[in-house]
Amino acid sequence: MFRAFLIKYGEIGIKGKNRYLFEEALVRQIKLALGKVEGDFVISTERGRIYAEAKGRFDYDGAVEALRRVFGIVAICPMWQVDLTDMDQMKKDVLAYIDSVYPDKNKSFKVFTKRADKNFPLNSQEINIALGDVILDTYPEMHVDVHNPEIALNVELRNRLNIYSESIPGPGGMPVGTAGKAMLLLSGGIDSPVAGFMVSKRGVTIEAVYFHAPPYTSERAKQKVIDLAGIISRYSGPIKLFVVNFTDIQLAIYDTCPHDELTIIMRRYMMRIAEYFAKKDDCLGLITGESIGQVASQTMKSLAATDAVCTMPVYRPLIAFDKQDIIDVSERIDTYETSILPYEDCCTIFVAKHPVTKPNIGAIRRSEHRLEGTIEELMETALSTTEIITVGE
């Protein structure tokens, strides 16, 4: 029924050179997304418009689903695009469109004509009337409703004639590749995949780091994180995932530091390692799934103690989210079912019964002092044995 899509994007605040970059990035992401769908697609732009047109047979549902994951798209309008000749032909095309898209004619409608081609002999209002009349004559069950039509029939006179009336919401946001890169600390939990999704939605390219603690955490726990990265990559594009072997560092902390400080100290080492890889790859920040007060290590004091080891900004998009709000997003983006699989997490294995909720940075630093002499080599080994997996190519 449809062979083409009109792709609408938000334009607010995007002007001049930025708009050109935005459009270019969006076209690139659309090509990547449709590249995985059955069919041959041609993407073209025309003054603030992006079209995706299928040449020959294609998977319509697959194309819509792929486009619904491309950040920057506000709406996807399945469209007929035909040659623009004269009013008689236009009437025939519009009637054929209605007949094909709306088998049930018992509907209200309104015609919205836009005339970019000012040479056409009729103006927009005249075309609205002419098309409205011929529709009413041909399909007597249909009626006009100018305030709340069931069918908003858009007729655009551009290089060719665009006819569309359906609008499928896109995800919004900014096209990936327009805002630099950031390193996501990705665990197997519910929160961090959502955090990565949200930052990626603002156009940021994502890399990820996962702290693995074999044999305390299993291969299945690692696979779960790879799977989560795979789900995020359907939106964000391929993710370079660093799998850090964290066991020896955790054991050293466990053996040397007060147990109520374990989580904070462990988190500080995670941040140091994440920042190391982030800097190497020109990332502009770190991302975590923390939110204020969710657990002891996420009080404002604990977050400050974690932040203190970072020189890069730490982005925490869920900082003010309630757990249920995070779960809602994770269900929507399809990470929830994977996140709740019951595999062990390196943080829960070495967790203290009564972790500090108001860590004193001086005390934490003194505890970390005790690691000097052993931790350096462990850090070096962790960095040099890190496995790199590209997910979602």
Size of the site for ligand ATP (CB under 6 A): 20
Size of the site for Mg ion (CB under 5 A): 2
State the DSSP code for 352: -
CB of 13 to Mg ion, least distance (A): 35
Q: Rounded to whole angstroms, what are the CA distances from 311 to 243, 285, 314, 322? A: 22, 9, 9, 28
Beta-sheet pairing, 108-115 with 143-144: parallel
**Is 250 a residue that touches ligand ATP (CB under 6 A)?**
no
CB contact set of 359 (below 8 Å; sequence gap of 6+): 261, 264, 301, 302, 305
CB of 232 to ligand ATP, least distance (A): 12
Restricted to residues 209-238, the positions that interact with ligand ATP (CB under 6 A) are 209-211
> Using CA atoms, how far apart are residues 323 and 191, in angstroms rounded to an integer?
8
288 binds, among ligand ATP, Mg ion, none (CB under 5 to 8 A by kind): ligand ATP
> Using CA atoms, how far apart are residues 219 and 209, in angstroms rounded to an integer?
16
**Is 176 a residue that touches ligand ATP (CB under 6 A)?**
no
> Using CA atoms, how far apart are residues 126 and 136, in angstroms rounded to an integer?
15
**Is 347 a residue that touches ligand ATP (CB under 6 A)?**
yes
Q: Which of 178, 187, 217, 250 binds Mg ion (CB under 5 A)?
A: 187
Q: Contact 391/229 with Cβ under 8 angstroms?
A: yes
Structure tokens at 239: 């993710």
CB of 9 to Mg ion, least distance (A): 35
Write the interaction track for ligand ATP spanning residues 280-299; mark x where CB under 6 A is met and - where it is not: --------xxx---xx-xx-
178 binds, among Mg ion, ligand ATP, none (CB under 5 to 8 A by kind): none
**Is 185 a residue that touches ligand ATP (CB under 6 A)?**
yes
Q: Contact 229/392 with Cβ under 8 angstroms?
A: yes
**Is 200 a residue that touches ligand ATP (CB under 6 A)?**
no
**Is 193 a residue that touches Mg ion (CB under 5 A)?**
no
> Using CA atoms, how far apart are residues 26 and 232, in angstroms rounded to an integer?
18
CB of 278 to ligand ATP, least distance (A): 13
* Binding site residues, Mg ion, CB under 5 A: 187, 189
User: Which residues would be at the binding site for ligand ATP (CB under 6 A)?
Assistant: 185-187, 189-192, 209-211, 270, 288-290, 294-295, 297-298, 346-347
